[in-house]
Amino acid sequence: MKRENLEIAVGIFVLIGVLALGYLSFKLGKIDMFSSGYYTVSAEFDKIGGIRKGSVVEIAGVPVGSVERVRINDKYHAEVEIKILNSIKLPDDSIASIRTKGLIGEKYIQITPGGSEQYIAQNGKIRETESSIDIEEVLSKYVFGKI
């Protein structure tokens, strides 16, 4: 009888450990099974220079979402699909800019909220965008005297 109780206790302990390991794997891997905590918006850029799926989206330096998809649209511009937390409501005059962390760091999208009282809905579009600045292009213009 005591041996059976010990085996049951060990079994429960192992089961709790496996469940905890599974939970940590999903959380640390940033896997969102149901994606109910996000809504999707899109933005169109002339040049995205290094933005890819999974790139961070920030407002005031705080991560609020990520890039879900990047594609070329029919006007040959880069269209970026962005997942934003449901708790963040973006005014419809917000500006999406591509920025670099540090001098040659990773690229991310910075959103500057506007002052409008209208908000961007699910599958809406951020109309105002600022494309990536190409450092090499700016340097070559400077070197060859075009600035």
Residue 103: inside a domain: yes
Residue 59 lies in a domain: yes
Read off the pLDDT of each residue in 62-84 and give the average, rounded to a whole number: 93
| Rg, Å, the chain Cα set | 22
Same domain, 62 and 45: yes
Pairing, β 128-130 against β 78-85: unpaired
Q: Which residue has the higher pLDDT, 14 or 147?
A: 14
145 belongs to a structural domain: no
Are the beta carbons of 47 and 78 closer than 8 angstroms? yes
> How confident is the prediction for the chain on average, in pLDDT?
87
Same domain as 51, residue 99:
yes
Q: Are residues 10 and 56 in the same domain?
A: no
Share of the chain above pLDDT 70, in %: 92
**Any alpha helices (H) in the chain, and if so which ranges?**
2-28, 135-143
| Residue 52 sits in the same domain as residue 23 | no
Residue-range definition of the domain harbouring residue 26: 1-31
Cα–Cα dist 92/62, whole Å:
20
Identify the pLDDT of residue 40: 93
64 within domain boundaries:
yes
pLDDT at 35 (0 to 100):
55
Tell me whether residue 55 is in a domain. Answer: yes
In this structure, is residue 76 part of a structural domain? yes
The total of structural domains in the chain comes to 2
Distance, CA of 137 to chain centre:
27
Q: Is the same domain home to 77 and 19? A: no
Domain membership flag for residue 138:
no
pLDDT for 104: 73
pTM score, two decimals?
Answer: 0.70
